[in-house]
Amino acid sequence: MCKCARCGRMFSGLAPFDRHQDVDYRRRPPVLCLDPAGLGMVLNRHGRWGCPMDDARRAQLEAMRQAARAGEDCQAARMM
């Protein structure tokens, strides 16, 4: 979990956090906080901003993990 010290928003990870900051050290101030909603991020039920893609990817990983586990069960059954 990342909290932005500049705007006080909370983020589900470093990637969405980085994405909401526009950093250019040739400019003053060098860091600008962008509106996460304008970047396609969503506020999740924990009050953190994140990319909806992250949730989809997590669900996909979980499905793969379950499939792998089911595969192990099948192998165990075959060995018995």
4 vs 42, beta carbon nearer Zn ion: 4
Three-state SS at 16: helix
**43 binds Zn ion per the rule CB under 5 A:** no
Which structure tokens are listed for 70?
A: 């089911």
Q: Which helix (H) or strand (E) holds 77?
A: helix 52-79
Total interface residues for Zn ion by CB under 5 A: 4
Three-state SS at 37: helix
Q: How near is the Cβ of 18 to Zn ion at its closest, in Å? A: 10
Which structure tokens are listed for 21?
A: 């900051």
- Candidates 1, 2, 3, 7; binder of Zn ion (CB under 5 A) is 7
Q: Which residues bind Zn ion (CB under 5 A)?
A: 4, 6-7, 33
